[in-house]
């Protein structure tokens, strides 16, 4: 008898239904219960002299969840948090989803008006405030953008926060009051919303990307695998945790059973000291953080014996930064992604021929954005018009699109933007790239950043890459400047290394030897560059200044 002639349901489809024994909603919250059970005495979090074991972390998170539940916070309530990289921030990443509530980490470098607008848009019911940001939070809570909405936001203060509204409760009081054995409801299903993250607004108005428990679970495992996290990993917080949940590492490190070391402010001296002191094995940071490390004065560069893996992304890392980091003893992994893809979506994998490549070529390869993380379904480069994949020839430029379980659910209360981003079955990144024969994508520009001069497309990244090879240049940003003859011409803004000097003609000579004539910057301006909280250069600000003929700092 063959299967095809049998009547009734197929044996593989009957009596094999999912049940509690074999089907549990995927949620990153479960990593903590498992780590506490498996290695309760191991150190989960280091903060200055403080140590929190996995057993303690689990109990504290359950206590916090219990206290919040007793205070009326429950399923799908938005819990915002305004904090640096603190233990409370890590705890919130578990305690809030344990309740089935939605965590909304806020960017600490935003102004009060924007924060108030985010709190109103996200429907925050509770705000956890770290003492360092108490004044900013108080201003945001009192702001008219919030006052007019009639929203009632409960406030929890971590540390000695002063100036917050009456009725504010102390974080440690809540922890003390909560039941450590609280039976956390968790998510009802894995598609339930877990987090709300506003995009940093590099190219326009911030939008609120919504993540699911399932997506965060997979993203954390994908990153733990790609970055080689294990039980003996020591992860230093040099990336803001409010940015795409710190690329999922509050969960990824717990999944691996490693240790997280808190750091409130990116300061090269503190980073080198902590790396040596705690034998840090992993850290992440935007290219600008790496630039700060390689340009740190020699006296703060404490030597360390271990190999430190450093993942970078969020903006294109210049190949010189990659080279200089390796010279300092860091092993660099290049990642690419967006808020909409829970942070990292691709990573640049070393090719089999890398060992034989000359250093300049190899660092050029490392600057490519690479191929999909194991937990992303697919990445493609497609023709902007036909939406068909471009040839994998390293020459055709198209848009990067992503598909898989680690793409956001959509934007909160913005179906038009959700449709535009996800509607054709792929997430449209707006990043222009070529696709190489080995499967790696290489970004040429953001669609909005490309410069069109005399009908030719010029990649701002290509010019920036050349400019950062000049020994005096620390950061470079190139934008389009309107031009009556050419339409647009490249305008370069340069931030020089501390103590370094260079003139515009000298920089131009340097570029002449390395760039086609039509790509040469027509204007070169010097000064500190405006950056977002995540260390990205605000090109829209520079475009305005280029238009107005102003210097970088206005």
Q: Which residues bind ligand ADP (CB under 6 A)?
A: 199-203, 313-316, 334, 336-339, 369, 429, 431, 443, 446, 536
DSSP code at position 537:
B
How many CB atoms within 10 Å of residue 142?
12
Q: How far apart, in whole angstroms, are the C-alpha atoms of residue 254 and residue 256?
A: 5
Asked whether the beta carbons of 127 and 153 are under 8 A apart, the reply is yes
Cβ(200)–Cβ(534) under 8 Å? yes
| Nearest CB to ligand ADP, comparing residues 73 and 542 | 542
Nearer to ligand ADP, 86 or 339 (CB): 339
Handedness of CA 172, 176, 181, 184 (dihedral sign): negative
- CB of 308: closest distance to ligand ADP in angstroms? 19
The pair of structure tokens assigned to 529 is 């560059």
Between 100 and 337, name the residue whose CB sits nearer to ligand ADP: 337
Nearer CB in complex with ligand ADP: 203/405:
203
The residue at minimum Cβ distance from ligand ADP is 202
Compare residues 318 and 521 and give the one whose CB is closer to ligand ADP. 318
Q: Which two tokens stand for residue 90?
A: 């890590």
CB nearer to ligand ADP: pick between 245 and 259: 245
| Least spacing, CB of residue 200 vs ligand ADP, in Å | 4
Query: Can you say whether residue 497 is alpha, beta or left, with left for phi > 0 and alpha for psi between -120 and 50 degrees?
Result: beta
Query: Please, what is the minimum distance in Å from the beta carbon of residue 456 to ligand ADP?
Result: 22
- In sequence order, the β-bridge partners of residue 443 are 433
Cβ proximity to ligand ADP, 309 vs 536, nearer residue: 536
199 or 321: whose CB is closer to ligand ADP?
199
How big is the chain by its Cα radius of gyration, in Å? 24
Q: How far is the CB of 234 from ligand ADP (least distance, A)?
A: 24
Least spacing, CB of residue 105 vs ligand ADP, in Å: 13
Could you tell me the smallest distance in angstroms from the CB atom of residue 527 to ligand ADP?
A: 22
The least distance separating ligand ADP from the CB of residue 372, rounded to whole angstroms, comes to 14
d(CA 366, CA 336) in angstroms, rounded, equals: 12
End-to-end, the C-alpha distance of the chain in Å comes to 81
Please count the residues of the chain: 554
Q: At its nearest, how many Å lie between ligand ADP and the CB of residue 387?
A: 18
State in angstroms the smallest separation of the CB of 346 from ligand ADP: 8
Cα(466)–Cα(464) distance, rounded to whole angstroms? Answer: 5
Q: Which of 367, 370, 432, 368 is nearest to 397 (CA)?
A: 432
Three-state SS at 442:
strand
- Which residue, 168 or 320, has its beta carbon nearer to ligand ADP? 320
Q: How far is the CB of 232 from ligand ADP (least distance, A)?
A: 28
Cβ–Cβ under 8 Å, residues 81 and 128: yes
Nearer to ligand ADP, 84 or 240 (CB): 240
Alpha helices in 16-161 (DSSP H): 29-39, 54-70, 87-98, 112-122, 134-142, 144-147
Query: What is the C-alpha to C-alpha distance for residues 262 and 245, in angstroms, rounded to an integer?
Result: 14
Distance CA 183, CA 355 (A): 53
Q: Which is nearer to ligand ADP, 213 or 334 (CB)?
A: 334
Determine the Cα–Cα distance for residues 311 and 16; give it in Å rounded to an integer: 42
Q: How far is the CB of 328 from ligand ADP (least distance, A)?
A: 20
Half-sphere exposure of 214 (CA within 13 A, CB side): 15
């Amino acid at each position: 008898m063959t299967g095809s002639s049998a009547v009734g349901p197929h044996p593989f489809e009957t009596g094999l239904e999912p049940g509690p024994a074999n089907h549990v909603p995927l949620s990153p919250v479960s990593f903590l219960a498992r780590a506490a059970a498996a290695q309760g005495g191991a150190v989960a979090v280091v903060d200055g002299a403080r140590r929190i074991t996995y057993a303690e972390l689990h109990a504290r998170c359950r206590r916090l969840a219990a206290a919040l539940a007793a205070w009326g916070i429950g399923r799908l309530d938005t819990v915002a948090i305004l904090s640096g990289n603190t233990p409370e921030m890590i705890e919130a990443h578990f305690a809030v989803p344990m309740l089935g509530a939605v965590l909304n980490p806020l960017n600490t470098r935003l102004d009060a008006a924007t924060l108030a607008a985010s709190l109103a848009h996200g429907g925050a019911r509770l705000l956890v405030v770290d003492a360092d940001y108490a004044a900013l939070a108080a201003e945001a809570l009192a702001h008219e953008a919030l006052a007019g909405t009639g929203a009632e936001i409960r406030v929890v203060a971590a540390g000695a926060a002063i100036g917050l509204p009456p009725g504010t409760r102390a974080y440690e009081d809540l922890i003390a009051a909560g039941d450590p054995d609280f039976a956390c409801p968790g998510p009802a299903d894995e598609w339930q919303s877990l987090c709300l993250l506003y995009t940093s607004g590099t190219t326009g108005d911030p939008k609120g990307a919504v993540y699911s428990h399932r997506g965060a679970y997979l993203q954390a495992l994908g990153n733990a695998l790609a970055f080689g996290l294990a039980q003996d990993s020591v992860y230093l917080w040099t990336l803001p945790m409010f940015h795409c949940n710190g690329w999922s590492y509050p969960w990824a490190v717990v999944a691996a059973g490693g240790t997280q070391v808190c750091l409130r402010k990116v300061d090269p001296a503190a980073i080198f000291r902590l790396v040596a002191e705690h034998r840090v094995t992993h850290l992440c940071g935007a290219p600008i953080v790496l630039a700060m490390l390689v340009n740190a004065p020699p006296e703060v560069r404490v030597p360390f014996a271990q190999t430190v893996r450093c993942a970078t992304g969020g903006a294109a890392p210049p190949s010189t930064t990659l080279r200089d980091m390796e010279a300092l003893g860091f092993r660099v992994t290049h990642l690419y992604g967006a808020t909409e893809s829970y942070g990292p979506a691709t990573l640049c994998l070393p090719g089999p021929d890398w060992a034989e490549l000359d250093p300049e070529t190899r660092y050029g390869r490392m600057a490519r954005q690479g191929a999909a993380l194991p937990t992303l379904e697919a990445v493609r480069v497609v023709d902007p018009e036909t939406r068909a994949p471009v040839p994998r020839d390293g020459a055709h430029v198209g848009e990067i699109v992503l598909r898989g379980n680690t793409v956001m659910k959509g934007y909160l209360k913005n179906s038009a933007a959700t449709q535009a981003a996800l509607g054709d079955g792929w997430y449209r990144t707006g990043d222009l790239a070529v696709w190489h024969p080995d499967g790696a994508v290489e970004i040429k520009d953001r669609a909005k950043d490309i410069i069109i001069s005399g009908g030719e497309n010029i990649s701002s990244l290509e010019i920036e890459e050349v400019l950062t090879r000049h020994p005096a240049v620390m950061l470079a940003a190139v934008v389009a400047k309107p031009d009556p003859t050419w339409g647009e011409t490249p305008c370069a803004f340069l931030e020089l290394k501390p103590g370094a000097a260079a003139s515009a003609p000298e920089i131009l000579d340097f570029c002449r030897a390395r760039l086609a004539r039509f790509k040469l910057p027509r204007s070169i301006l010097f000064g500190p560059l405006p950056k977002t909280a995540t260390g990205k250069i605000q090109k829209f600000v520079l475009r305005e200044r280029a238009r107005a003929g102003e210097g970088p700092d206005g």
